[in-house]
Amino acid sequence: MIPIETSGLTKYYDDLCAVDHLDLSVGNEIFGLLGPNGSGKTTTVLMLTTLLEPTAGSARICGFDTTREAREVRSQISYVPQEMAVDAKLTGRENVALFAKLYGIGGRDEAVDRALEMMDLAERADDLVRTYSGGMRRRLELAQALVHEPKVLFLDEPTIGLDVAARRKIWEHIRTLRSRGMTIFVTTHYMEEADASCDRVAILDRGRLVAIDSPAGLRARVGKDVISARVTGTITGRSPGGVELLGTRESGEIVFSTDHGSEKVPLIFRWLEDQGVMVHSLAVHEPTLDDVFLALVGSRDEARGFDDHRFRTILRRR
Amino acid sequence: MRDTFYYFERDMLRWVRGRISVISALIMPAAWLIFVGLALPTTFSEHYIDFITPGILVLTMLGASLQGGSLLIFDKILGFLNKFLALPSSRESILFGKILFITTRGLIQATVILVLAWVLGASLLSPAGILLSYGILALFGILLSAFSTTIALYLSDHDAYAAFNAMVSMPLFFTSSALMPYNVMPAWLSAIAYWNPVSFAIDSIRSLQEGVLAWTRIGALGLLAVLVVSFCIHKFRKVTI
């Protein structure tokens, strides 16, 4: 049974295409959906969790159709939206117990204890959530989602707004869940996190799938090395042979990909100087998912301008 | 059905632990009772507080029910609704949970108002009359809380809901029989007031003061409640984000 499968999954908001013929097949893995704001990540998750009806195409979760067999789908999954919705006036245990009751699971108290334990919240379980930190609240949401032992877990931006230590901890927990056989579908825009923890990632741009592979596989597509340059001035003309200009990062850095990076540094330096561009620094490093993203999608905002209309329409509609 | 109770339990715990909102909701009806019920120089009634008490009880339910719609607005804005909708439990239990909580809260507030009215000198109904009044208030609460919760489902933020609330609550109250009997109203107002659902509830309770069961008014209220709740169930079942 394939945990998540979509074919031609499409969503239009009026004439705006939020998700465009998405074909995915997700196995027992941590699957990351990456993309800039407004690329259709959340819309995809909402369709997979039966909260939004696709305009065309279909999706199946553990063999159940998300529109015709919505109820069966809902009993296989858990969904944690990005908003961090836990009741501050209830205790941690009460928050998890609510979901245990609503899922109608047997052996409720043990299941609640187990979920809290798994998320390292047992000690603070009887404190009001008001006193919890952001990371603890997120883990509490995971405990709510885990209490009925779902087959597929959907996490929308699980580490957004958390500090570095809390993020690391969330990902540790996510990896533990995968090792217990759960399928985890996660959206994020933190590339390093996806790189470190996802088995496979898909990159979405304006609702369209532009790449799908393991993080290592994607990095290999960029080339052996990446050179980033901090410069003043405008670049014109073609890059020298064996060097590909990937684009400009949000920080203003210009990024090239090449084989044998350190040998190409003098070549790039001379090429930039010849155009009258002042070079402040050149650095060679191994490609990251950020570089892949730059190569496939372009700079997130600046290269094509922030699409305000698209962003607002998608936000308003969900 | 059990799920309804779980949703109810959640809202109840949050309300009881909120403290300030428990008191604040009582201020307005109490002010009406004291400043209008005791102070207004009326000519059509010897004992105006007896006349206005049913109106204020229904006003309390009206305010509580319309205010209750904002619970769903917050669930929606804060992401709770999405989580609830993704659960395998039936979606109308979310609606029923809100109806149960909002109506219960309204009845608790109405009880405080009833005691206050008695302290201020209103004459008390017979035990059976009080019981029937509660039944009528509950029916009215169910009607209005189903309505406001379903409206909330379709409004995007709290400002929009506050605007809806302001637009609906005062006109409904002033075009009802809460403040004066039909025979002293201008003709145009009495026609509107007679068909206002708020008057259905007020008139039903008022006739209990005379020991009469106003079946047509109670029936009208019940029929409307059945229609509105069925419509709301239908809307909740097929809701998407």
Would you call B3 and A102 a contact, using CB atoms and an 8 Å cutoff?
A: yes
- Indicate whether B210 pLDDT > 90: no
Q: Are B61 and B144 contacting, i.e. CB atoms less than 8 angstroms apart? A: yes
- Indicate whether A82 pLDDT > 70: yes
User: Taking the domains of chain B in order of start, what are their residue ranges?
Assistant: 2-237
Q: Are A49 and B86 contacting, i.e. CB atoms less than 8 angstroms apart? A: yes
Rounded-to-integer distance, Cα A186 and Cα A152, Å: 11
Token output for A32: 């990351």
Rounded-to-integer distance, Cα A55 and Cα A20, Å: 10
pLDDT category at A302 given cuts 50, 70, 90 is very low
User: Taking the domains of chain A in order of start, what are their residue ranges?
Assistant: 4-218, 224-286
Token output for B155: 């409004």
Q: So what's the pLDDT on residue B18?
A: 79
Would you call A84 and B14 a contact, using CB atoms and an 8 Å cutoff?
A: no
Which residue type, as a one-letter code, is found at position B43? T
- Indicate whether A283 pLDDT > 80: yes
Q: So what's the pLDDT on residue B212?
A: 87
Q: Provide the percentage of residues in chain B whose pLDDT is more than 70.
A: 98
- Tell me which chain B residues have a C-beta less than 8 angstroms from the C-beta of A84: 79
Token output for A19: 């998700």
Say what the ipTM of the complex is. Answer: 0.88
Q: So what's the pLDDT on residue B106?
A: 94
Q: Are A222 and A287 contacting, i.e. CB atoms less than 8 angstroms apart? A: yes
- Tell me which chain A residues have a C-beta less than 8 angstroms from the C-beta of B82: 46, 51, 79, 81, 83, 85
Rounded-to-integer distance, Cα B209 and Cα B221, Å: 18
- Tell me which chain A residues have a C-beta less than 8 angstroms from the C-beta of B7: 102
Would you call A90 and B14 a contact, using CB atoms and an 8 Å cutoff?
A: yes
The mean per-residue pLDDT over the stretch B73-91 comes to 93
The mean per-residue pLDDT over the stretch A284-308 comes to 72
CATH topology of domain A4-218: Rossmann fold (3.40.50)
- Indicate whether B98 pLDDT > 70: yes
Rounded-to-integer distance, Cα B230 and Cα B163, Å: 25
- Indicate whether A252 pLDDT > 50: yes
Would you call B78 and A79 a contact, using CB atoms and an 8 Å cutoff?
A: no
Token output for A31: 């699957």
Q: So what's the pLDDT on residue A303?
A: 39
Phi, psi angle pair for B42, to nearest 5°: -100, 155
Element (H, E) at B70: helix B48-77
Would you call B83 and A85 a contact, using CB atoms and an 8 Å cutoff?
A: yes
The mean per-residue pLDDT over the stretch B99-103 comes to 97
Would you call B88 and A71 a contact, using CB atoms and an 8 Å cutoff?
A: yes
Angle at A199 between CA A209 and CA B83, to 5 degrees: 75
Would you call B86 and A50 a contact, using CB atoms and an 8 Å cutoff?
A: yes
CB within 8 Å of B72: residues ≥ 6 apart: B81, B98, B149, B152, B153
Quote the mean pLDDT of chain A.
Answer: 89
- Tell me which chain A residues have a C-beta less than 8 angstroms from the C-beta of B85: 51
The mean per-residue pLDDT over the stretch A93-97 comes to 96
B157 interfaces chain A, CB cutoff of 8 Å = no
Would you call B241 and A46 a contact, using CB atoms and an 8 Å cutoff?
A: yes
CB within 8 Å of A165: residues ≥ 6 apart: A135
Residue B7 backbone zone (phi > 0: left; psi -120 to 50: alpha; other: beta): alpha
pLDDT digits (tens, 9 = 90+) for A157-184: 999 888 899 999 999 999 999 999 999 9
B21 interfaces chain A, CB cutoff of 8 Å = no
Q: What are the Cα distances from residue A94, in Å, to A90, A137, B6, B61? A: 6, 13, 11, 29
Q: So what's the pLDDT on residue A312?
A: 65
Q: Are A11 and A66 contacting, i.e. CB atoms less than 8 angstroms apart? A: no
Q: Most B CBs within 10 Å: which of A84, A98, A102, as the mutation test of the B interface?
A: A102
pLDDT digits (tens, 9 = 90+) for B105-154: 999 999 989 998 998 888 888 889 999 999 999 999 999 999 999 999 99
User: Closest to B89 (Cβ–Cβ): which among A85, A102, A317?
Assistant: A102
Q: Extract the runs of DSSP E, i.e. beta strands, from B106-225.
A: none
